[in-house]
């Protein structure tokens, strides 16, 4: 009899232990669901904004006021990151319009001050929509759309938004960098130089922009592997980690430049002149 009671007690303890493990696993999965591309972009947006409101950044903005476009980048990153947590057609349409400003902002094809103001307004509108939907307890248009249409739009609006974010690197590598030397020969305010300073000599610009493209490739691959994610599985963390890599290589680029030719160089032509001067000095010392 006692043996049966002990067996029953052990069985009861075993079932309780299994239930406890199951609860812990569910809690872990729930916390993991918070970590993904959305959180990464929010962190990037906050870091970007904080960096450009630091005292040393205001000195830089006083010298080059149009560098305020970096505030616009931070608002775009923040909006896109928050949009990942709000599964709503209206909210993600706003995210799409916000990120569609990035190619214009990155290319210097339009006055950046106007676009920066727009990014703040759009972020404000996004937050208002999210608050209204959370208060209603139901996103706009969910009942009017078929489930298939709802899921398709929610996923693909974010996918297009991520591709637009990658344009911070595409625009620099494909448009600005190849044109820069030719524009500098024409004049200091030729083409997009009327809005932005020359940057191909800036190591951090190269490292950060390339890292953002790699982030985009990573997050698109993760989305492809998860698909619609009807089972609500946790998102892979690689794209989340890539954000920290992007921040890290950007700071590393600044450090390398500080330790080499510094920040007094205005453009690549000055760097070429400096290089020629150093070569001439070396030849003179060497007796060539």
Whole-number Å distance between alpha carbons of 248 and 243: 9
Report the residue count for the chain: 288
Percent of the chain with pLDDT over 70: 83
Confidence category of residue 276, pLDDT binned at 50, 70, 90 = very low
Q: Which of 2-11, 59-68, 189-198 has the highest mean pLDDT?
A: 189-198
Which H helix or E strand runs over 1?
none
Whole-number Å distance between alpha carbons of 7 and 13: 10
Which pLDDT score, from 0 to 100, does residue 68 have?
Answer: 85
Cβ contacts of 174 within 8 Å, gap of 6 or more: none
pLDDT at 120 over 90: yes
Helix, strand and coil in the chain, % to nearest 5 = 80, 0, 20
pLDDT at 284 over 60: no
Cβ distance 157 to 93 under 8 Å?
yes
Of 68 and 118, which is predicted with more confidence?
118
pLDDT at 91 over 50: yes
pLDDT (tens digit per residue) in 202-225? 999 999 999 999 999 999 999 999
Which H helix or E strand runs over 287?
none
pLDDT (tens digit per residue) in 177-196? 888 888 888 877 788 888 88
Cβ distance 96 to 137 under 8 Å?
no
User: What stretches of 111-192 show up as alpha helix (H) in DSSP?
Assistant: 112-136, 147-170, 177-186
Confidence category of residue 283, pLDDT binned at 50, 70, 90 = very low
DSSP 175: I
Mean pLDDT of 25-33: 56
pLDDT (tens digit per residue) in 243-254? 999 999 999 999
Whole-number Å distance between alpha carbons of 52 and 275: 31
Cβ distance 80 to 42 under 8 Å?
no
- Cα 138 from chain centroid? 28
Which pLDDT score, from 0 to 100, does residue 246 have?
Answer: 96
Mean pLDDT of 197-202: 86
- Cα 60 from chain centroid? 22
Which pLDDT score, from 0 to 100, does residue 89 have?
Answer: 94
User: Torsion-angle region of residue 232: left (phi > 0), alpha (psi -120 to 50) or beta?
Assistant: left
Confidence category of residue 75, pLDDT binned at 50, 70, 90 = very high
pLDDT at 79 over 80: yes
Among candidate residues 252, 172, 267, the one with its CA nearest the CA of residue 212: 172
- Whole-number Cα distances in Å, 192 to 60, 98, 198, 209: 19, 21, 9, 18
pLDDT at 77 over 70: yes
pTM across the whole model:
0.84
Q: CB-hemisphere CA count at 13 Å for 15?
A: 5
Cβ distance 82 to 38 under 8 Å?
yes
Cβ distance 106 to 141 under 8 Å?
no
pLDDT at 282 over 80: no
Percent of the chain with pLDDT over 90: 48
């Amino acid at each position: 009899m006692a043996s049966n009671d002990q067996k029953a007690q052990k069985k009861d303890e075993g079932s309780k232990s299994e239930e406890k493990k199951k609860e812990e696993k569910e809690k872990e999965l729930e916390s993991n669901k918070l970590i993904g591309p959305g959180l990464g972009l929010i962190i990037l947006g906050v870091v970007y904004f904080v960096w450009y409101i630091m005292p040393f950044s205001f000195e830089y903005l006083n010298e080059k006021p149009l560098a305020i476009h970096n505030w616009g980048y931070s608002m775009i990153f923040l909006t896109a990151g928050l949009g990942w947590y709000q599964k709503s057609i209206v909210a993600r349409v706003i995210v799409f319009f916000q990120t569609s400003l990035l190619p214009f902002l990155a290319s210097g094809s339009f006055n950046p001050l106007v676009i920066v103001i727009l990014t703040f307004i759009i972020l404000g509108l996004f937050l208002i929509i999210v608050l209204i939907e959370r208060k209603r307890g139901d996103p706009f248009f969910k009942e009017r759309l078929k489930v298939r249409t709802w899921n398709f739009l929610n996923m693909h609006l974010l996918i297009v938004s991520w591709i637009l974010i990658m344009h911070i690197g595409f625009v620099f590598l494909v448009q600005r960098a190849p044109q820069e030397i030719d524009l500098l020969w024409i004049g200091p305010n030729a083409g997009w130089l009327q809005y932005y300073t020359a940057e191909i000599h800036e190591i951090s610009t190269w490292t950060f922009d390339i890292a953002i493209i790699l982030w985009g490739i990573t997050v698109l691959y993760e989305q492809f592997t998860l698909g619609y994610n009807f089972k609500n599985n946790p998102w892979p963390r690689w794209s989340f980690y890539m954000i920290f890599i992007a921040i890290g290589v950007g700071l590393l680029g600044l450090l390398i430049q500080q330790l080499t030719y510094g920040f007094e160089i205005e453009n690549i032509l000055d760097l070429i002149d400096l290089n020629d001067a150093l070569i001439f000095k070396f030849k003179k010392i060497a007796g060539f």
